[in-house]
Structure 1
């Protein structure tokens, strides 16, 4: 009975669902990065250049 269920599953929809989920996640990340302030982006960009351990999200 379980083998009949496994054989009956159509996996072609999984690829389309994965593409939709990827596009949704990409869109959310794009919106999140475009909403960052100029100060935050400058602080994120300076992380690899500094020797000090910093948390760039703490705005002072």
Structure 2
């Protein structure tokens, strides 16, 4: 019985749905990155170079 149920499953829709989620997430992150101001992007870029613990958002 379980073998017949598993044989009827179609996983191609899952792959397409996962690709859609990936593309939407990628575009959302890209849009957020493009909206950053120049000062904010410079602060984020300088985080690995500084020894102090600082909040780049302030």
TM-score bucket of the superposed structures, by smaller chain: 0.7 to 0.9
Deviations 1:19-54 (A, max 9, x none): 111100000001000000111000000001100001
Counterpart secondary structure, 1:51: coil
**In structure 1, C-alpha distance between the alignment counterparts of 2:5 and 2:31, rounded to whole Å:** 41
What is the aligned partner in structure 1 of residue 26 from structure 2? 26
What is the aligned partner in structure 1 of residue 14 from structure 2? 14
TM-score scaled by structure 2? 0.87
Q: Structure 1 unaligned runs (5+)?
A: none
Q: CA deviation at 1:2?
A: 4.0
Q: Structure 2 unaligned runs (5+)?
A: none
**In structure 1, C-alpha distance between the alignment counterparts of 2:26 and 2:35, rounded to whole Å:** 14
